[in-house]
């Protein structure tokens, strides 16, 4: 029977290899919920039970160099992995929470090995058909598979944003990756929004709401 749980562990000094020993577990995470522009990326990763790397941690706590160093190691040594993106247009249609969950579902769809259990970063998820799951608050700092998924989602998204930044240098996405930094907000006020912006996000709907004195 399919089940869902929320796992609130206390501070864990070392990342754990699994929650349910003996089952094929996939860690799932996303990157890019907060930006004003660009897709949200989601990843699912199944690691071997004995996987270990001293740099592996929550991607937000790692340097860009460390993330880039780990990405090919994870992609090479994982038993299975998949990264997908959900476009800004789809985000506007179904909202960012649903887009993040949809992305994780699609990432699980793309795995070459079917997992028996899903470890989900955060506390909200829509059950995946036929596979039980556990949501883990701050799971990317607790479980290796979620941390690995967070690194793949983050590095693939950053790579994508660097690529589209070449088409729209005025927004400086090569630096801000689409997040609502001061330079990005200034660019929206000066140039308006483009097809990569999330039109339902407040600053893109009403850029004039930004404090003009900041410019």
202 in a domain, yes or no? no
DSSP 116: S
Q: Are 28 and 111 in contact (CB under 8 A)?
A: no
Q: How far apart are CA 113 and CA 106, in angstroms?
A: 14
193 in a domain, yes or no? no
143 in a domain, yes or no? yes
Q: How far apart are CA 153 and CA 42, in angstroms?
A: 5
Residue 205 pLDDT? 76
Q: Are 17 and 99 in contact (CB under 8 A)?
A: no
**Percentage of the chain surpassing pLDDT 70?**
89
Residue 36 CB burial class (10 angstroms; 0-12, 13-18, ≥19)? buried
178 in a domain, yes or no? no
Give the number of domains in the chain: 1
124 in a domain, yes or no? yes
Q: How far apart are CA 170 and CA 193, in angstroms?
A: 11
CATH for 22: 3.30.420.10
What is the span of the domain harbouring residue 35? 4-156
38 in a domain, yes or no? yes
pLDDT digits (tens, 9 = 90+) for 158-188: 999 999 999 999 999 999 999 999 999 999 9
Write down the mean pLDDT value for the chain.
90
91 in a domain, yes or no? yes
pLDDT digits (tens, 9 = 90+) for 63-109: 999 999 999 999 999 999 999 999 999 999 999 999 999 999 999 99
What length is written for the chain? Answer: 215
Say whether pLDDT at 11 is over 70.
Answer: no
Q: How far apart are CA 52 and CA 72, in angstroms?
A: 14
Q: Are 60 and 158 in contact (CB under 8 A)?
A: no
Q: How confident is the model at residue 203 (pLDDT cuts 50, 70, 90)?
A: confident
Closest of 132, 93, 116, 110 to residue 6, by C-alpha: 132
128 in a domain, yes or no? yes
């Amino acid at each position: 029977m399919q089940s869902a749980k929320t796992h609130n562990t206390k501070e864990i000094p070392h990342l754990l290899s699994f929650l349910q020993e003996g089952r094929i577990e996939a860690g799932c995470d996303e990157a890019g919920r907060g930006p004003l522009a660009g897709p949200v990326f989601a990843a699912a990763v199944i690691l071997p039970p004995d996987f270990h790397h001293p740099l592996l941690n929550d991607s937000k706590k790692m340097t860009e160099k460390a993330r880039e160093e780990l990405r090919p190691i994870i992609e090479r040594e994982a038993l299975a992995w998949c990264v997908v993106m959900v476009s800004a247009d789809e985000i506007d249609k179904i909202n960012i929470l649903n887009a993040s969950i949809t992305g994780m579902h699609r990432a699980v769809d793309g795995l070459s090995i079917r997992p028996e259990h899903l470890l989900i970063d955060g506390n909200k998820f829509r059950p995946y058909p036929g596979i039980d799951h556990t949501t883990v608050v701050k799971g990317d700092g607790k479980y290796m598979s979620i941390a690995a998924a967070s690194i793949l989602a983050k590095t693939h998204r950053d790579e994508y944003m660097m690529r589209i930044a070449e088409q729209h240098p005025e927004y400086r996405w090569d630096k801000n990756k689409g997040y609502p930094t001061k330079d990005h907000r200034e660019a929206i006020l000066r140039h308006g929004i483009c097809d990569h912006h999330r039109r339902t996000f407040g600053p893109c709907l009403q850029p004039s709401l930004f404090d003009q004195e900041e410019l």
